[in-house]
Structure 1
Protein backbone atom coordinates (compact mmCIF):
# COMPACT_ATOMS: atom_id res chain seq x y z
CA UNK A 1 0.00 0.00 0.00
CA UNK A 2 1.29 3.42 -0.90
CA UNK A 3 1.27 6.31 1.44
CA UNK A 4 -0.72 9.45 0.61
CA UNK A 5 1.32 12.55 -0.02
CA UNK A 6 0.16 16.09 0.50
CA UNK A 7 1.45 18.70 -1.89
CA UNK A 8 1.36 22.38 -1.11
CA UNK A 9 0.72 24.43 -4.19
CA UNK A 10 1.42 28.11 -3.96
CA UNK A 11 -0.94 30.06 -6.19
CA UNK A 12 -0.14 33.31 -7.91
CA UNK A 13 -2.52 35.13 -5.56
CA UNK A 14 -0.80 33.64 -2.50
CA UNK A 15 2.61 34.75 -3.83
CA UNK A 16 1.31 38.27 -4.50
CA UNK A 17 -0.28 38.49 -1.04
CA UNK A 18 3.02 37.46 0.55
CA UNK A 19 4.94 40.32 -1.08
CA UNK A 20 5.55 43.39 1.07
CA UNK A 21 3.99 46.73 0.20
CA UNK A 22 0.57 47.74 -0.98
CA UNK A 23 -2.03 49.84 0.78
CA UNK A 24 -3.08 49.70 4.36
CA UNK A 25 -6.69 49.03 5.27
CA UNK A 26 -6.94 52.52 6.76
CA UNK A 27 -5.72 54.03 3.48
CA UNK A 28 -8.14 52.00 1.40
CA UNK A 29 -11.02 52.97 3.70
CA UNK A 30 -10.06 56.65 3.59
CA UNK A 31 -9.89 56.63 -0.21
CA UNK A 32 -13.22 54.83 -0.51
CA UNK A 33 -14.88 57.36 1.82
CA UNK A 34 -13.42 60.26 -0.18
CA UNK A 35 -14.79 58.83 -3.41
CA UNK A 36 -18.17 58.19 -1.82
CA UNK A 37 -18.32 61.72 -0.41
CA UNK A 38 -18.07 63.10 -3.96
CA UNK A 39 -21.58 61.77 -4.57
CA UNK A 40 -23.19 63.23 -1.45
CA UNK A 41 -24.89 66.18 -3.20
CA UNK A 42 -26.38 63.94 -5.89
CA UNK A 43 -27.57 61.44 -3.30
CA UNK A 44 -29.17 64.13 -1.15
CA UNK A 45 -30.96 65.43 -4.27
CA UNK A 46 -32.24 61.90 -4.93
CA UNK A 47 -33.39 61.59 -1.31
CA UNK A 48 -35.18 64.95 -1.51
CA UNK A 49 -36.90 63.72 -4.68
CA UNK A 50 -38.07 60.57 -2.89
CA UNK A 51 -39.50 62.67 -0.05
CA UNK A 52 -41.28 64.87 -2.61
CA UNK A 53 -42.74 61.76 -4.28
CA UNK A 54 -43.91 60.54 -0.88
CA UNK A 55 -45.56 63.91 -0.27
CA UNK A 56 -47.42 63.61 -3.58
CA UNK A 57 -48.58 60.07 -2.81
CA UNK A 58 -49.80 61.17 0.63
CA UNK A 59 -51.56 64.24 -0.80
CA UNK A 60 -53.40 62.09 -3.34
CA UNK A 61 -54.11 59.29 -0.84
CA UNK A 62 -55.54 57.31 -3.73
CA UNK A 63 -56.79 53.81 -3.04
CA UNK A 64 -54.25 51.31 -4.32
CA UNK A 65 -51.27 53.64 -3.89
CA UNK A 66 -50.38 52.22 -0.48
CA UNK A 67 -47.59 49.95 -1.84
CA UNK A 68 -45.88 53.02 -3.29
CA UNK A 69 -45.29 54.33 0.23
CA UNK A 70 -43.21 51.32 1.22
CA UNK A 71 -41.41 51.23 -2.14
CA UNK A 72 -40.44 54.91 -1.96
CA UNK A 73 -39.47 54.77 1.72
CA UNK A 74 -37.31 51.68 1.24
CA UNK A 75 -35.67 53.28 -1.79
CA UNK A 76 -34.92 56.32 0.34
CA UNK A 77 -33.36 54.06 2.98
CA UNK A 78 -31.24 52.23 0.42
CA UNK A 79 -29.77 55.53 -0.72
CA UNK A 80 -29.53 57.21 2.69
CA UNK A 81 -27.70 54.20 4.13
CA UNK A 82 -24.52 55.13 2.29
CA UNK A 83 -24.18 58.41 4.16
CA UNK A 84 -24.64 59.61 7.70
CA UNK A 85 -28.21 60.84 7.52
CA UNK A 86 -28.89 60.02 11.17
CA UNK A 87 -32.44 60.96 12.07
CA UNK A 88 -33.62 60.88 8.44
CA UNK A 89 -32.66 57.21 8.22
CA UNK A 90 -34.46 56.49 11.49
CA UNK A 91 -37.62 58.27 10.30
CA UNK A 92 -37.52 56.41 6.99
CA UNK A 93 -37.06 53.10 8.75
CA UNK A 94 -40.02 53.88 10.98
CA UNK A 95 -42.15 54.69 7.92
CA UNK A 96 -41.17 51.39 6.27
CA UNK A 97 -42.05 49.50 9.43
CA UNK A 98 -45.40 51.24 9.83
CA UNK A 99 -46.31 50.90 6.14
CA UNK A 100 -45.42 47.22 6.14
CA UNK A 101 -47.51 46.52 9.24
CA UNK A 102 -50.48 48.57 8.03
CA UNK A 103 -50.47 46.88 4.66
CA UNK A 104 -50.16 43.41 6.18
CA UNK A 105 -52.91 44.14 8.71
CA UNK A 106 -55.21 45.74 6.16
CA UNK A 107 -55.73 48.85 8.32
CA UNK A 108 -54.15 51.69 6.33
CA UNK A 109 -53.91 55.07 8.03
CA UNK A 110 -52.85 57.97 5.78
CA UNK A 111 -52.40 60.49 8.64
CA UNK A 112 -49.75 58.21 10.19
CA UNK A 113 -47.89 58.16 6.88
CA UNK A 114 -48.30 61.94 6.49
CA UNK A 115 -46.73 62.57 9.91
CA UNK A 116 -43.72 60.46 8.97
CA UNK A 117 -43.28 62.20 5.62
CA UNK A 118 -43.58 65.66 7.21
CA UNK A 119 -40.97 64.69 9.80
CA UNK A 120 -38.63 63.49 7.06
CA UNK A 121 -39.05 66.78 5.20
CA UNK A 122 -38.21 68.74 8.37
CA UNK A 123 -35.18 66.57 9.09
CA UNK A 124 -33.99 66.87 5.50
CA UNK A 125 -34.40 70.66 5.49
CA UNK A 126 -32.42 70.80 8.74
CA UNK A 127 -29.45 69.06 7.13
CA UNK A 128 -30.10 65.63 8.69
CA UNK A 129 -28.39 66.71 11.89
CA UNK A 130 -29.23 65.07 15.18
CA UNK A 131 -30.30 67.69 17.72
CA UNK A 132 -33.05 68.31 20.27
CA UNK A 133 -35.60 69.03 17.53
CA UNK A 134 -34.94 65.83 15.61
CA UNK A 135 -34.89 63.88 18.88
CA UNK A 136 -38.38 65.23 19.63
CA UNK A 137 -39.55 64.39 16.09
CA UNK A 138 -38.25 60.83 16.37
CA UNK A 139 -39.86 60.44 19.78
CA UNK A 140 -43.17 61.55 18.29
CA UNK A 141 -42.74 59.13 15.37
CA UNK A 142 -42.08 56.29 17.79
CA UNK A 143 -45.35 56.99 19.58
CA UNK A 144 -47.26 57.27 16.28
CA UNK A 145 -45.67 54.02 15.11
CA UNK A 146 -46.57 52.27 18.37
CA UNK A 147 -50.20 53.33 17.96
CA UNK A 148 -50.20 52.17 14.34
CA UNK A 149 -48.79 48.79 15.42
CA UNK A 150 -51.63 48.40 17.92
CA UNK A 151 -54.23 49.22 15.27
CA UNK A 152 -52.74 46.85 12.70
Structure 2
Protein backbone atom coordinates (compact mmCIF):
# COMPACT_ATOMS: atom_id res chain seq x y z
CA UNK A 1 0.00 0.00 0.00
CA UNK A 2 1.15 3.50 -0.80
CA UNK A 3 0.00 6.61 1.03
CA UNK A 4 -0.66 9.38 -1.47
CA UNK A 5 0.21 12.85 -0.27
CA UNK A 6 -1.49 15.63 -2.24
CA UNK A 7 0.84 18.30 -3.55
CA UNK A 8 -1.44 20.98 -2.10
CA UNK A 9 -0.48 19.81 1.40
CA UNK A 10 3.18 20.37 0.52
CA UNK A 11 2.47 23.76 -1.04
CA UNK A 12 0.59 24.98 2.04
CA UNK A 13 3.64 24.30 4.18
CA UNK A 14 5.98 26.36 1.96
CA UNK A 15 7.10 29.69 3.46
CA UNK A 16 5.79 32.93 2.00
CA UNK A 17 2.44 33.71 0.48
CA UNK A 18 -0.46 35.56 2.09
CA UNK A 19 -2.06 34.95 5.41
CA UNK A 20 -5.82 34.41 5.41
CA UNK A 21 -6.50 37.89 6.79
CA UNK A 22 -4.39 39.48 4.08
CA UNK A 23 -6.15 37.49 1.36
CA UNK A 24 -9.58 38.51 2.71
CA UNK A 25 -8.52 42.17 2.86
CA UNK A 26 -7.26 42.00 -0.72
CA UNK A 27 -10.53 40.41 -1.86
CA UNK A 28 -12.55 43.11 -0.07
CA UNK A 29 -10.47 45.83 -1.72
CA UNK A 30 -11.05 44.25 -5.13
CA UNK A 31 -14.80 44.20 -4.45
CA UNK A 32 -14.75 47.85 -3.41
CA UNK A 33 -13.22 48.68 -6.77
CA UNK A 34 -16.20 47.04 -8.49
CA UNK A 35 -18.90 48.46 -6.20
CA UNK A 36 -19.50 51.69 -8.15
CA UNK A 37 -19.96 49.74 -11.36
CA UNK A 38 -22.32 47.31 -9.63
CA UNK A 39 -24.43 50.14 -8.18
CA UNK A 40 -24.64 51.68 -11.65
CA UNK A 41 -25.89 48.32 -12.92
CA UNK A 42 -28.52 48.27 -10.17
CA UNK A 43 -29.70 51.72 -11.26
CA UNK A 44 -29.95 50.57 -14.88
CA UNK A 45 -31.86 47.46 -13.85
CA UNK A 46 -34.35 49.49 -11.83
CA UNK A 47 -34.79 51.83 -14.80
CA UNK A 48 -35.64 48.82 -16.97
CA UNK A 49 -38.13 47.57 -14.36
CA UNK A 50 -39.70 51.04 -14.25
CA UNK A 51 -40.06 50.97 -18.05
CA UNK A 52 -41.72 47.55 -17.89
CA UNK A 53 -44.16 48.86 -15.28
CA UNK A 54 -45.05 51.79 -17.54
CA UNK A 55 -45.57 49.50 -20.57
CA UNK A 56 -47.52 46.82 -18.64
CA UNK A 57 -47.30 44.37 -21.53
CA UNK A 58 -47.73 40.60 -21.28
CA UNK A 59 -44.21 39.98 -22.53
CA UNK A 60 -42.93 42.64 -20.16
CA UNK A 61 -44.38 40.82 -17.19
CA UNK A 62 -42.51 37.69 -18.17
CA UNK A 63 -39.28 39.73 -18.19
CA UNK A 64 -39.61 40.91 -14.59
CA UNK A 65 -38.45 37.75 -12.82
CA UNK A 66 -35.24 37.23 -14.83
CA UNK A 67 -34.33 40.90 -14.47
CA UNK A 68 -35.08 40.89 -10.73
CA UNK A 69 -33.09 37.67 -10.26
CA UNK A 70 -30.12 39.27 -12.01
CA UNK A 71 -30.38 42.30 -9.74
CA UNK A 72 -30.62 40.03 -6.69
CA UNK A 73 -27.43 38.29 -7.74
CA UNK A 74 -25.55 41.56 -7.94
CA UNK A 75 -27.14 43.02 -4.80
CA UNK A 76 -26.40 39.88 -2.82
CA UNK A 77 -22.75 39.97 -3.78
CA UNK A 78 -22.35 43.54 -2.55
CA UNK A 79 -23.71 44.82 0.74
CA UNK A 80 -26.94 46.48 -0.32
CA UNK A 81 -29.04 45.63 2.74
CA UNK A 82 -32.68 46.46 2.08
CA UNK A 83 -32.21 46.55 -1.70
CA UNK A 84 -31.36 42.86 -1.79
CA UNK A 85 -34.32 41.98 0.42
CA UNK A 86 -36.70 44.10 -1.68
CA UNK A 87 -35.54 42.66 -5.01
CA UNK A 88 -35.72 39.15 -3.53
CA UNK A 89 -39.30 39.94 -2.51
CA UNK A 90 -40.00 41.00 -6.11
CA UNK A 91 -38.66 37.64 -7.28
CA UNK A 92 -40.95 35.84 -4.82
CA UNK A 93 -43.92 37.93 -5.89
CA UNK A 94 -43.50 37.36 -9.62
CA UNK A 95 -42.80 33.67 -9.11
CA UNK A 96 -46.01 33.22 -7.12
CA UNK A 97 -48.03 35.33 -9.56
CA UNK A 98 -46.66 33.37 -12.50
CA UNK A 99 -47.46 30.03 -10.82
CA UNK A 100 -51.02 31.24 -10.28
CA UNK A 101 -51.28 32.54 -13.86
CA UNK A 102 -51.92 36.05 -12.57
CA UNK A 103 -50.55 39.48 -13.37
CA UNK A 104 -50.59 42.10 -10.60
CA UNK A 105 -48.86 45.15 -11.98
CA UNK A 106 -49.79 47.25 -8.94
CA UNK A 107 -47.85 44.99 -6.56
CA UNK A 108 -44.91 44.88 -8.95
CA UNK A 109 -44.99 48.66 -9.25
CA UNK A 110 -44.88 49.05 -5.44
CA UNK A 111 -41.81 46.81 -5.33
CA UNK A 112 -40.08 48.73 -8.13
CA UNK A 113 -40.83 52.07 -6.49
CA UNK A 114 -39.37 50.70 -3.26
CA UNK A 115 -36.22 49.66 -5.10
CA UNK A 116 -35.88 53.17 -6.51
CA UNK A 117 -36.33 54.70 -3.06
CA UNK A 118 -33.72 52.39 -1.52
CA UNK A 119 -31.24 53.30 -4.25
CA UNK A 120 -31.95 56.99 -3.72
CA UNK A 121 -31.34 56.73 0.04
CA UNK A 122 -28.04 54.91 -0.43
CA UNK A 123 -29.15 51.52 0.89
CA UNK A 124 -30.12 52.97 4.28
CA UNK A 125 -31.20 50.12 6.53
CA UNK A 126 -33.09 52.15 9.12
CA UNK A 127 -36.58 51.71 10.55
CA UNK A 128 -38.18 53.20 7.43
CA UNK A 129 -36.60 50.50 5.29
CA UNK A 130 -37.83 47.82 7.69
CA UNK A 131 -41.38 49.18 7.49
CA UNK A 132 -41.18 49.24 3.70
CA UNK A 133 -39.87 45.67 3.56
CA UNK A 134 -42.66 44.55 5.90
CA UNK A 135 -45.15 46.09 3.48
CA UNK A 136 -43.58 44.28 0.53
CA UNK A 137 -43.76 41.00 2.45
CA UNK A 138 -47.45 41.59 3.09
CA UNK A 139 -48.02 41.95 -0.66
CA UNK A 140 -46.33 38.61 -1.26
CA UNK A 141 -48.42 36.98 1.49
CA UNK A 142 -51.57 38.46 -0.05
CA UNK A 143 -50.73 36.78 -3.36
CA UNK A 144 -50.14 33.47 -1.54
CA UNK A 145 -53.52 33.74 0.20
CA UNK A 146 -55.47 34.65 -2.94
CA UNK A 147 -57.50 31.87 -4.55
Normalization by structure 2: what TM-score? 0.93
Using the TM superposition, give the Cα deviation of residue 11 of structure 1 relative to its aligned residue in structure 2, in angstroms.
4.8
Q: Where does structure 2 lack aligned partners over 5 or more consecutive residues?
A: none
Cα distance between partner residues in 2 of 1:94 and 1:9:
49
Which residue, 74, 78, 94 being the options, matches 2:89?
Answer: 94
Contact 1:102 1:148 in 2 (8 A): yes
Greater helix share, structure number: 2
Q: Work out which of the two has the higher radius of gyration on C-alpha atoms and give 1 or 2.
A: 1
Counterpart check, 1:16 vs 2:11:
yes
How many residues are treated as equivalent by the alignment? 147
- Distance (Å, rounded) in 1 between the aligned partners of 2:116 and 2:6: 54
Q: Following superposition of structure 1 onto structure 2, how do residues 1-152 of structure 1 map, counting pairs within 5 Å?
A: 6-151=1-146
Unaligned runs of 5+ residues in structure 1 are 1-5
Work out whether residues 92 and 120 of structure 1, in 8 Å CA contact, stay in contact via their aligned partners in 2. yes
3-state secondary structure, aligned to 1:64: helix
The worse-fitting range, judged by mean Cα deviation, of 12-21 and 54-63 is: 12-21
Other structure's SS at 2:77 match: coil
For the aligned residues, what is the CA RMSD? 1.4
Deviations 1:61-108 (A, max 9, x none): 012221111011001011111111000000000000000010111021
TM-score normalized with structure 1 length: 0.91
